Amino acid sequence: MIAYLDNSATTRPSQPVIEAMTQAMREGFYNPSSLYAPAMAAEKALNRCRAAIQSALKVDQGRVIFTSGGTEANNLALFGGVGAMHGPQHVMVSAVEHPSVLAAAQALEKEGHRLTLLRVDRAGQLDWEQLESVLTRDPPALVSVMQVNNETGAVSDIPRLSAMLRALAPQALLHVDGVQAFLRLPIDGNLVDMYTLSGHKIMGPKGIGALWVRRGVRLLPRQIGGGQEGEYRSGTENTPGIAGLLAAIQTMDPQAPAAMMAMKLRLAQGLLQRVPGLVINGPDPKLGAPHILNASFPGVRGEVMLHALEGEGVYVSTGSACSSKKRKVSGVLLSMGIPAGVAEGALRFSLAADNDCAQIDYACEKAGALYQALKGFRRK
Rounded CA-CA distance 242/180 in Å is 18
Task: Count other C-beta atoms under 10 Å from residue 349's C-beta.
Answer: 30
Rounded CA-CA distance 67/229 in Å is 9
Task: Count other C-beta atoms under 10 Å from residue 255's C-beta.
Answer: 9
User: Which alpha helices (H) appear in the chain, and where do they start and end?
Assistant: 15-26, 37-56, 70-75, 81-83, 99-110, 128-137, 158-168, 239-251, 256-274, 302-310, 331-335, 340-343, 357-374
Burial of 167 (0-12, 13-18, 19+ CB in 10 A): exposed
Residue of 49, 322, 357, 364 marked catalytic: 322
Of the candidates 1, 56, 85, the residue with the CA atom closest to the CA atom of residue 204: 56
Residue 274 · residue 365 · CB < 8 Å: yes
Of the candidates 379, 374, 328, 319, the residue with the CA atom closest to the CA atom of residue 349: 319
Query: Cα–chain-centroid distance for residue 228?
Result: 25
Handedness of CA 313, 318, 320, 326 (dihedral sign): negative
Rounded CA-CA distance 35/212 in Å is 26
Rounded CA-CA distance 193/340 in Å is 36
Q: What are phi and psi of 278, to 5 degrees?
A: -55, 140
Of the candidates 353, 242, 303, the residue with the CA atom closest to the CA atom of residue 11: 353
Known active-site residue 322: yes
Active site residues: 322
